[in-house]
A and B are shown apart, each in its own frame.
Chain A
């Protein structure tokens, strides 16, 4: 029996758009996740670790990060690691996998990039791992390697990073893998990467997307796992192990339900967690609750979350404010008329809508209206 750990799409060094300073924490967390994978491989006494592409989020990996990843791999000692470049860390001319200084290159790491010899043989297990790393971020070339009939080890395993051509949405140049390719491939197990969600693709031969070991954005369901594969002559057992610790949550709150900022703070606090990334979409009318400074709430709660973001989607109920209702003898009436006239000539009506509400609120003596940035 051979025991294999299959992972992919770790995306070390990923950029987290829109998360501001949270990005740094998330990147640090991804490193932790990778360490955890190595720990799992050691604890589970696996024979082989497979990384099906996108270990790094980019080919521009800092020395520290490269050193970190290689250091972790060498921590595995005699456990061999087979890796293929994916789409983000493809094997182009400036690939991170090129020219790694020999002194930091772990002896147990096998990067499958040789076109002539797209496989590596492990005598101890009579096992052959096939893989041909992606050479560019987009390509119509099929990433699934082809089995060499002449060599007949006991087990044949394939590594491939690409997108399965089953859905109409799959793009041709996204390293296509067809179900037909998989079925006819003749491998014992196919370790796939590129999709971030865990997915069984084929039963014979068994082909899996392990998905990312950690969820990388909102709504990415099915991410946060690795697979332990046990190969026997007529039987392949695949077991899922949860590695994801991050909780990406997006909630909606209605500002009107809260009487004051601390109430809303308490509500958000209910979702706290050191690995939680929370996005709160605040709707409704926030005037009643007196929440005028959302960033203040974010700051107060910042330590309770890995990242917290409150998106102000409050709708000013005054948007339907119509000048017709107000007599033109009043400043408010006059103001609304002027602003409506101007808005008619403008493209960015939103600004005028805001100005209209602001002016009206100020004229109505909105005392609690404070400048958020003061």
Chain B
């Protein structure tokens, strides 16, 4: 690429400014503040900026005191074609024309495409990083080889000169780590958000549950209250039925009671009447009998018993007399005894004369007969005595007979008196009369006591009245029962209804209890939808932030991965080319003294092969400052070649060697001269060091 001409209107210090450029070194000289930097800015702006952009930094470029923003026109050549690029930052006009064909492009993308293709560097940042060597850039590399190494890496990285891919990668890693950090006391960003979110979810869940429970309770309460209403009316209906049934039952009871009393009274009256009749009959019967006094009857009994006794006694006496007579008869000495006694006596006397014979036997006989005579004689004597004794006794008995008879006569007289009193024939009849009469009397008494029993303490009239009363009552209750009778229930039905009412009431009570409990619960319940809404809003927000952060992490991760891969690929592929190109340029600059450079792909340290030392050497230790400058320049140009892919962009150098000593500067300028064969170089300075090396000298007006 070769820039031919630049026209500027209202661009900073440069208004209505026109400048032409040649191939080779264009030495642009001007004092400080003459507008060298403005010129560089104008050039990059013409090459890269979009005239429609509203960015402040661009708007600020307009010369002071002008309403309208700046305009610019750049004529350049690329691949043998001449172009003219016009940009008006005031109205956003953009046009690129190809001089040879007269073609025009106004569409931004198309224009940018052609311009970028011509320059070979895709963005302003890249341009500054490669083709534009800033003031003091070389100076800043003085301090150490590390700086050069970093610079080289950043150049390979292809971003702005201060940025290294490795730093970017580290930075990204650090950011990711920071985001993903999980700490115990100092929580990581995500961790904290997640914790917040989890807490919110927990809270929300709690509140929602509570709310749902309340909702449920409310619903339940509504249902319960409606059920309660139904139940209440049901209870009332059933209760009324039950009450009526009870009433009917009570009435029936009363009815029955009166009926019973009625029957009782009726039967009692009947019974009393019967009793009365029976008594009458008995009384009638009793008239048939004589009412014998009990004393009389007893007396009669006593008398009779005495008589009987006397009779018995008399009979005994008779018997005894009889017996006595018999005994007397028995006791009177029999004729045989008398004969025997006399005989014995006579015998003994007869024998006694024989006793002179003294014959024993005769003696014995005489003794025996005498003895017998004594004996029989004694017997006869005692019998005569006995007979006298018994005869006396009979005499006595006869006296007693007389006494007995006397008694009996008296007694019989008494008896007869009594019988006479009652005009009765015998004591037997008297006794019969007495018994009959007494029996009837007893029966009457019994009947009367029964009668009293039937009356039960009342008199017959009272009872009659009572019956009348009861009959009346009964009729009244019957009347009363008429209306309510139909409510009367069978026992089991009544019990069933009773149970039903009880159950219903139980149910009612339990529903009431429940409704009270629910009401209380609802009364106690706080929370509500506000808290839920508040938590939901906060959760939404937290989740939103968390989502953004997570997305950010993902983006970071993608960026990081791609960057690492890109860095590895670029270093792998470009290090070789860079080594080659740098070696070639270095050989050219050092007149063949050094011709080999190699880069470590990871650390980006570089080494130089020294023929003198026959080996790879650490440039910092073994090479002079000037040589290092040469190597850096060689690297930078090699990189430019690499990036621009032989598009040969314009190279801008803003006083690059200002702090170099004379010797170093001369070497550098030699290199620049060599480079200028290939690249158009714009060398800006306020010094005279470069005089003589230029192909065209441009002096900026003061």
* Chain A contacts to B: CB under 8 angstroms: 13-24, 27, 57-65, 93-95, 98-99, 101, 254, 256-259, 284-285, 288-289, 320, 325-335, 337-339, 342, 351-352, 354-356, 358-359, 362-365, 371, 373-374
Contacts and interface: CB of A to CB of B under 8 A. Distances in A.
Contact of A62 (B109, B527, B574): B527
Q: Which of B53, B159, B534 has the most CB of A within 10 A?
A: B159
Interface string B53-91: 111110000000000000000000000000000000000
Contacts of B644: 327
Interface in B538-566: 538, 540-541, 549, 551-552, 554-556, 558-559, 562-563, 565-566
B526 A364 contact: no
Interface stretch (B219-227, B255-263, B398-406, B593-601): B219-227
A63 B160 contact: no
Interface in B256-280: none
Nearest to A325: B122
A328 B156 CA distance: 11
Contacts of B175: 371, 374
Contact of B211 (A60, A333, A342): A60
Contact of A20 (B57, B528, B529, B541): B541
A64 B536 contact: no
Contact of A329 (B162, B189, B523, B643): B643
Contacts of B323: none
A338 B566 contact: yes
Q: Which of B216, B218, B523 has the most CB of A within 10 A?
A: B218
Interface stretch (B96-104, B163-171, B421-429): B163-171
B567 interface: yes
Interface of B: 53-57, 109, 113, 116, 120, 122-123, 125-126, 156-163, 165, 168, 171-172, 175, 178-179, 189, 211, 214-216, 218-219, 221-223, 225, 519, 522-523, 525-534, 536-538, 540-541, 549, 551-552, 554-556, 558-559, 562-563, 565-567, 569-570, 573-574, 577, 642-645
A98 B168 CA distance: 65
A373 B189 contact: yes
A62 B531 CA distance: 9
A326 B225 CA distance: 79
B665 to A, nearest CB: 29
Nearest to B54: A256
Nearest to A318: B123
A352 B549 contact: no
A62 B526 contact: yes
B540 A17 contact: yes
B159 to A, nearest CB: 4
Contacts of A27: 530, 533-534
Contacts of A371: 175, 178-179
B55 A285 contact: yes
Given A24-B534, A62-B530, A365-B159, A329 B577 contact: yes
Contacts of B56: 256-259, 288-289
Contacts of A337: 566
Contacts, number: 225
The main secondary structure of chain A at its interface with chain B is: loop
Contacts of A101: 519, 523
Contacts of B534: 23-24, 27
Given A254-B54, A365-B162, A20 B219 contact: no
Nearest to B565: A338
Contacts of B574: 329-330
Given A338-B566, A358-B555, A364-B123, A98 B533 contact: no
Contact of A374 (B125, B178, B577): B178
Nearest to B53: A256
A186 B526 CA distance: 44
Contacts of B211: 60
Given A93-B223, A362-B559, A98 B159 contact: no
14 contacts: A20-B538, A21-B538, A23-B538, A61-B529, A99-B522, A329-B158, A334-B567, A342-B558, A351-B555, A355-B562, A359-B562, A363-B157, A365-B162, A373-B549
A325 B532 CA distance: 53
A239 B643 CA distance: 76
Contacts of B214: 60, 94
A331 B567 contact: yes
Contacts of A326: 122-123, 126, 158
Contacts of A354: 551, 555
Contacts of A331: 156-159, 165, 563, 566-567, 570
A175 to B, nearest CB: 21
A21 B539 CA distance: 10
Contact of A13 (B55, B525, B533): B533
A363 to B, nearest CB: 4
A64 B530 CA distance: 10
A258 B537 CA distance: 32
A59 B522 CA distance: 13
A365 B54 CA distance: 22
Contacts of A15: 529, 532-533, 536-537
Which 4 residue pairs spanning A and B have beta carbons closest together?
A62-B528, A330-B158, A365-B160, A15-B533
B537 A16 contact: yes
A21 B211 CA distance: 21
B530 A65 contact: yes
Contacts of A333: 122, 158, 570
Given A20-B541, A256-B54, A330 B570 contact: yes
A325 B556 CA distance: 23
A63 B158 contact: no
Contacts of B573: 328-329
A363 B158 contact: yes
Contacts of A259: 56
B523 to A, nearest CB: 6
A130 to B, nearest CB: 24
Contacts of A94: 214-216, 218-219, 222
Contacts of A359: 168, 559, 562-563
A63 B525 contact: yes
A327 B566 CA distance: 12
B126 A332 contact: yes
Nearest to A23: B537
A364 B519 contact: no
Contacts of A356: 559
A352 B643 CA distance: 25
A373 B179 contact: yes
Given A351-B554, A362-B559, A374-B175, 18 more contacts: A23-B538, A60-B215, A94-B222, A99-B221, A256-B55, A288-B55, A328-B570, A330-B159, A332-B159, A332-B566, A337-B566, A338-B562, A342-B558, A342-B562, A363-B163, A364-B160, A365-B125, A373-B552
B628 to A, nearest CB: 24
Contacts of B216: 94
B126 A14 contact: no
A16 B529 CA distance: 12
B156 A60 contact: no
Contacts of A365: 125, 159-163
Nearest to B572: A334
A63 B537 contact: no
Contacts of B165: 331, 363
A101 B123 CA distance: 75
A24 B556 CA distance: 35
B553 to A, nearest CB: 10
Contacts of B556: 355, 358
